[in-house]
Amino acid sequence: MADLVTARKADTLPPARSAAGGRAARGRAARKLVPEARRNLSAYGFLIGAVLCFALFSWYPMVREIIMSFQKTQLGVTSWAGLVNYRRIFNDPTFWTAWRNTLEFTLLALLLGFAVPFFVAILLNELRHAKGYLRCLVYLPVMLPPASALLLFSYFYDPTYGLFNDILHTLHLPTSQWVLSSGTRWPTAAMISVVIAATWMNMGGATLIYLAALQNIPGELYEAAELDGAGIVKKIRHITIPQTKLVLSMLLMLQIIATMQMFVEAFILDGGQGVNNNTESVVYLIYQYAFAMSSASNFNSAAALGVVLLVVLATFSGGYVWLTRTRDR
Amino acid sequence: MADSYARSLISSAQLNRARGKIVYRIVLTVVIVIFTLIFIGPLYFLFTDGLKSTQEAIAAPPTLYPHALHPSSYSRAWGEFSLGRLLLNTLYYAFGALAFQLVFDVAAAYSLSRLRPALGNVVLAMMVATLMIPAMVLIVPLYITVAHLPIVNISLIGSPAAIWLPSVANGFNIFLLKRFFDSIPAELTEAATIDGASPLRVLRSIIIPISRPILAVVSIFSLVAVWKDFLWPLLVEGGFNPPRETLNVGIWTASQTAPENMVLAASAIAAVPTIIFFLIFQRNILAGLTAGGVRG
């Protein structure tokens, strides 16, 4: 984030030009106009492809989503509809279920996907051998096509012939229905199963970013702490965590935003909804409104739901920017 | 920090004591064994379960290794799900998207960094601001836009452009590339300009050769992103015959009806190119992860 700010600051510096001094100001202005126009023309020539793509596939859809959410389309005629779409989604009981599930997924995913990579990174950072091997291991699942990994997990999760129940059975532990569990009380076995698969697939990225951050901690800090007689736990609490605070908080925000958009994990593991809607996420509900309701496919309601999700996520990232800014300076 | 080993939580002195050495050896072994089990273990089953017969694949309790080898499920999966076709589709989409991103995003970042057009700052800010918009939020209006492009009134559904063109709108690429181009000394390009080199010539002969490392990072992540994407290719390329989907979507479609051993064989086949890609480029990939300016 800090880099973003400096990048923008550097931008406001005037462009380097060869100074043509000693001439009358008026003549210079007239003569400068043509090269100036030509410079801009060629600059925009280089820019145009990306600008068009951004305009069509990012800026315009953004505006369109907000507009659409206040419109309705009946028999091919689009008209303003006020808050009809919003009223419809708020009155849909699955709206609240989906938000509850998404929140549950986010909390569980943070518990596993935020804390586990951090401690794995601390552990890996201590090892002097097999570093490259372990790093590759942790990151390998991130490279797999998600469908491969998730289809494999749904095979492991199968209640009758799955590997996981077999392991539990061998250990004389009660077996589970995993993703197909019907419970809706927090934390549901179904959602925990989704989170386990998601963490296995995704933890490599966070782990390696933490590892890089850990390597930037000056060694003298640990030495000083040792002289004061600090043990491992104290060193982690008072040096490791404060020293990596910036990366930790940044990844925390990125992970919250990423996990709130959970879709593909539940979609492949159990079709997206789960039993009794217990793994249905907000993005799945958007998908359902827009593409999967055979009778009443409704882009406008889906857009309204998208706006709600955007507002929630923007609040998170806005809050993050605000918090880190006041803490920094 | 270049040559001396950066010390960490536990000091080397502590590790060199007799007890420290034993504990370290035990921890190292345990970590290697557990990590191998957790991360390679599932892959072992991914590749061997495809070799089982359909009955054995759904036998309870599951067998740890195929008791009778059935390599035919691999060849059947390859043929019945047209995996070769899906693989070609995926490569076509991934490298096409890469080409579009390299041409348009590099040109744009170059223009913003060196040619500095009027209002360039506004354009840059608007591009980088799209990083704040979560992708899934825009999926519906993006789909509608692609299905009916404004002004030109054409639909891109089912055409590779539906994957290629939206991939160009990547604020992260612009941010990374522009930041790298900014760091190239101005004297280099100015000297060429004074010698009469056109902006395109400067880009081709000076900027691009210097920027190889960052271009590698951008390329790898753009390929991986297309390869791993699921919902978007499902929406815009799904449901055609012959299939136009990516491998990732195609094996999911196949899994809806096919028996487990064939689904696993197909998943294993789909995983192979990414594993090979990772093993070849692991150094760049692991280094590229921290290129986004996420530093402590």
Q: Which residues on A lie below 8 Å from B59 (Cβ)?
A: 161
Least CB–CB distance from B45: residue in A147, A152, A317: A152
Q: Does B4 have pLDDT greater than 50?
A: no
What is the Rg, in whole angstroms, of the alpha carbon atoms belonging to chain B?
25
- CB–CB of B169 and A122 under 8 A? no
Torsion sign (Cα): A97, A99, A102, A104: negative
CA distance B282 to B286: 6
Give the pLDDT band (50/70/90) at residue A294.
low
Q: Which residues on B lie below 8 Å from A43 (Cβ)?
A: 111, 115-117, 120, 199
Q: Does B11 have pLDDT greater than 80?
A: no
CA distance A205 to A203: 6
Helix ranges (DSSP H) in B66-105: 72-80, 83-100
- In this predicted structure, which of A197-201, B51-55, B105-109, B180-184 has the lowest mean pLDDT? B51-55
Q: Which residues on B lie below 8 Å from A322 (Cβ)?
A: none
**Which candidate, A202, A201, A205, A188, places its Cα nearest to that of A105?**
A188
- CB–CB of A209 and B294 under 8 A? yes
Q: Does A150 have pLDDT greater than 90?
A: yes
Mean predicted confidence (pLDDT) in A288-300? 78
Q: Does A21 have pLDDT greater than 50?
A: no
pLDDT of amino acid A7: 43
Q: Quick count: other Cβ atoms within 10 Å of Cβ B11?
A: 14
Give the pLDDT band (50/70/90) at residue B55.
confident
Answer yes or no: are the C-beta atoms of B61 and A175 closer than 8 Å: no
**Two structure tokens written together for B289:** 């992860």
- CB–CB of A58 and B136 under 8 A? no
B191 touches chain A (CB under 8 A): no
What percent of chain A is predicted at pLDDT more than 90?
Answer: 32
Q: Does A164 have pLDDT greater than 70?
A: yes
What percent of chain B is predicted at pLDDT more than 90?
Answer: 51
- CB–CB of A222 and B260 under 8 A? no
Q: Quick count: other Cβ atoms within 10 Å of Cβ B129?
A: 14
Give the pLDDT band (50/70/90) at residue A19.
very low
Query: What values do phi and psi take at A80, rounded to 5?
Result: -70, 145
Mean predicted confidence (pLDDT) in B159-178? 93
Mean predicted confidence (pLDDT) in A82-89? 89
Give the model confidence (pLDDT) of A215-269 as tens digits. Answer: 888 888 888 888 888 788 888 888 888 888 888 888 888 888 888 999 999 999 9
SS (H, E, C) B47-67: HHHCCCCHHHHCCCCCCCCCC
CATH of domain B77-292: 1.10.3720.10
- CB–CB of A134 and B32 under 8 A? yes
CA distance B218 to B101: 9
pLDDT of amino acid A31: 66
Give the pLDDT band (50/70/90) at residue B45.
very high
Give the pLDDT band (50/70/90) at residue A75.
confident
Domain with CATH 1.10.3720.10 in chain B: 77-292
Mean predicted confidence (pLDDT) in B247-254? 92
Helix (H), strand (E) at residue B199: helix B199-202
Q: Quick count: other Cβ atoms within 10 Å of Cβ A170?
A: 9
- CB–CB of A222 and B11 under 8 A? yes
ipTM: 0.90
Answer yes or no: are the C-beta atoms of B270 and A131 closer than 8 Å: no
- CB–CB of A11 and B136 under 8 A? no
CA distance A158 to A180: 8
Least CB–CB distance from B133: residue in A42, A62, A286: A62
**Which candidate, A258, A116, A277, places its Cα nearest to that of A191?**
A277
Mean predicted confidence (pLDDT) in B73-100? 93
Global pTM? 0.87
Tell me which range, A73-82, A271-280, B176-185, is most confidently predicted by mean pLDDT: B176-185
Question: Tokens 């892959």, residue?
Answer: B43
Whole-Å CA distances, B66 to B47, B223, B261: 10, 34, 11
Complete domains list, chain A, with CATH: 24-69 (no CATH), 85-328 (1.10.3720.10)
Nearest CA in chain B to A161: B60
Q: Does A82 have pLDDT greater than 50?
A: yes
Q: Does A153 have pLDDT greater than 90?
A: yes
Tell me which range, A31-35, A186-190, B252-256, is most confidently predicted by mean pLDDT: B252-256
Whole-Å CA distances, B101 to B105, B107, B177: 5, 9, 11
B163 touches chain A (CB under 8 A): no
Answer yes or no: are the C-beta atoms of A124 and A207 closer than 8 Å: yes
- CB–CB of A43 and B115 under 8 A? yes
Give the pLDDT band (50/70/90) at residue B294.
very low
Q: Which residues on A lie below 8 Å from B127 (Cβ)?
A: 50, 54
Q: How far B32 CA sits from the closest chain A CA (Å)? A: 7
Mean predicted confidence (pLDDT) in B133-146? 91
